[in-house]
């Protein structure tokens, strides 16, 4: 089990071996605020719809309607191996960072994504693992709204006395649960399963390196599709991506959230519990309309009596096969310094080639044209070193003759079958 604390310090998330994330409040140690998978909420709450998802039907109906592959039911999941709960600068710190942009001590420039998260007071939860077994390898980033302080339910009495050792009131619990409602999900795809990840903070080494990160470094398992690499070369590889990702404006349509009520809620006119609308993307392509009727024949318009009307199907181009909404803008990868050349990019050999001025200019013309907007910029804050001419050793050339020499490029060939050129 892996723990991650909310930056507020009153809520923590626990990743479990069954692929679930449990959120707990220090004010109520008796039961979690929310238990979810990457895709769905309240997976620990059993109702009739979740029983259908789990395949709790008669054998004849089960054969016609499927075996229950909903996100909350019969799919086996990876354990949650690691989670990190990242926050961003508060309003005062954000103003200071913005005012210092362009000055020598500004550090890494602020991205639009960081500014948006900071202005909204939002946080992100980075999750390694928790995927359905067999799904494409990826690290998921769950976008969470601004933290809402617990509050008493409006217009009614509390169902329990908070602060008296009896846990949270229903209103306080619902307010905290609203702060845990995922408003978007971003996927960092990986070529092979990830073993670990590291967030690179802008400046602060505290908060477990999770506060205001500017990049994420992902450590990957060996790629079986490549030829074996003999020692001393490493088989594992490293990826680096821009962080945080751009905010997602495509919120999950169906979260599976259950709404709870008490006797006091009925007295004060609170609406009864209803189940969230079920989307085929979250049920392995099977909606409630495909569930068999008592006679064993599928009833196209059938749904559970207490369920709301089925929602319109989301645009399939915006969702993955498991129902995760995708953003229009994918995260931007970074170039890694030579210190991290391992695995797929492990350098197996190199050669230095002198080039005529015309050839060299033609070779780097694209890089010159794209200099202000590189396709894969260097990882911020981490550098692989620098090289300078040797003018002091006994065999060093005369300084006056250096400018007459040809340009040189370093050609390296790597384990992934690519040849890379670097200007010397």
Residues 6+ apart with CB under 8 A from 188: 138, 139, 140, 141, 216, 218, 239, 241, 245, 331
Residues 6+ apart with CB under 8 A from 253: 277, 279, 311, 314, 325
Q: Locate the domains of the chain by residue range.
A: 2-318, 345-423
Residues 6+ apart with CB under 8 A from 25: 10, 11, 33, 150, 168, 173, 176
CB 335: neighbour CB atoms within 10 A?
14
**Alpha-carbon distance 329 to 378, whole Å?**
19
DSSP for residue 96: H
- Of residues 89, 78, 97, 153, the one with CA closest to residue 118: 89
Q: Does residue 172 contact residue 152 with C-beta atoms inside 8 Å? A: yes
2, exposed or middle or buried, with CB in 10 Å at 0-12, 13-18, 19+?
Answer: middle
Q: Is the peptide bond before 88 cis (omega within 30 degrees of 0)?
A: no
pLDDT on residue 107: 79
Residues 6+ apart with CB under 8 A from 291: 52, 57, 61, 65, 298, 299, 302
DSSP for residue 236: -
Instruction: Answer whether 0.85 is exceeded by the pTM.
Output: no
**Alpha-carbon distance 72 to 60, whole Å?**
22
Sign of the Cα torsion 15, 17, 22, 28 reads negative
DSSP for residue 90: -
Which helix H or strand E contains 237, and what residues bound it?
A: strand 237-242
- Of residues 104, 103, 189, 69, the one with CA closest to residue 140: 189
pLDDT on residue 5: 94
**Alpha-carbon distance 285 to 41, whole Å?**
19
Question: pLDDT tens per residue, the chain (424 residues)?
Answer: 789 999 888 899 999 999 999 999 998 888 899 999 998 888 888 766 666 655 555 544 444 444 334 444 457 899 999 999 999 999 899 889 888 888 877 778 888 899 999 999 999 999 999 999 988 899 999 999 997 665 444 433 433 444 445 678 888 888 899 899 999 999 999 989 999 999 999 988 889 999 999 999 999 988 887 777 777 667 788 889 999 998 887 777 777 777 766 544 444 444 443 333 333 333 333 333 333 334 444 344 444 444 454 454 444 334 443 444 444 456 788 888 777 777 777 788 889 988 888 888 887 776 666 555 556 777 876 666 666 667 777 777 676 666 667 788 888 888 777 888 777 6
55, exposed or middle or buried, with CB in 10 Å at 0-12, 13-18, 19+?
Answer: middle
Rg (CA), the chain: 27
């Amino acid at each position: 089990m892996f723990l991650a604390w909310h930056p507020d310090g009153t809520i923590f998330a626990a990743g479990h071996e069954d692929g679930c994330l449990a959120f707990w409040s220090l004010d109520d140690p008796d039961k979690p605020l929310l238990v979810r998978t990457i895709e769905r909420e309240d997976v620990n709450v059993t109702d009739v719809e979740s029983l259908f998802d789990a395949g709790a039907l008669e054998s004849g109906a089960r054969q016609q309607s499927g075996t229950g592959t909903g996100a909350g039911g019969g799919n086996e999941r990876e354990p949650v191996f690691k989670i990190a709960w990242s926050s961003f600068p508060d309003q005062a710190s954000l103003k200071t960072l913005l005012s210092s942009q362009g000055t020598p001590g500004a550090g890494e420039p602020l991205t639009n994504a960081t500014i948006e998260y900071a202005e909204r007071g939002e946080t992100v939860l980075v999750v390694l693992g928790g995927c359905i077994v067999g799904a494409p390898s990826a690290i998921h980033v769950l976008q969470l709204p601004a933290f809402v302080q617990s509050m008493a339910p409006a217009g009614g009495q509390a169902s329990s006395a908070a602060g008296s050792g009896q846990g949270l009131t229903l209103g306080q619990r619902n307010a905290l649960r609203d702060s845990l409602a995922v408003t978007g999900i971003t996927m960092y795809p990986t070529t092979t399963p990830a073993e670990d990840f590291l967030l690179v903070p802008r400046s602060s080494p505290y908060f477990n390196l999770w506060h205001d990160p500017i990049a994420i470094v992902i450590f990957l398992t060996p790629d079986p599709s490549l030829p074996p690499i003999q020692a001393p070369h490493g088989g594992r590889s490293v990826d680096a991506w821009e962080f945080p990702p751009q905010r997602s404006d495509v919120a999950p349509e169906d979260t599976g959230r259950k709404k709870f009520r008490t006797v006091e809620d009925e007295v004060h006119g609170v609406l009864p519990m209803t189940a969230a609308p079920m989307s085929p993307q979250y049920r392995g392509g099977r909606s409630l309309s495909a569930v068999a009727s008592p006679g064993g024949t599928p009833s196209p318009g059938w749904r559970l009596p207490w369920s709301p009307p089925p929602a319109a199907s989301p645009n399939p181009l915006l969702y993955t096969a498991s129902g995760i909404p995708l953003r229009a803008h994918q995260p931007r990868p970074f170039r890694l310094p030579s210190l991290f050349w391992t695995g797929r990019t492990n350098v197996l050999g190199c050669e230095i080639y002198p080039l005529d001025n015309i050839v060299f200019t033609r070779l780097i013309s694209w890089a010159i044209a794209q200099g202000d907007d590189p396709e894969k910029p260097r990882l911020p804050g981490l550098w692989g070193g620098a090289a300078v001419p040797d003018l002091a050793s006994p065999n060093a050339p005369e300084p006056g003759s250096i400018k007459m020499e040809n340009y040189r490029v370093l050609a390296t060939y790597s384990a992934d079958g690519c040849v890379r050129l670097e200007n010397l």
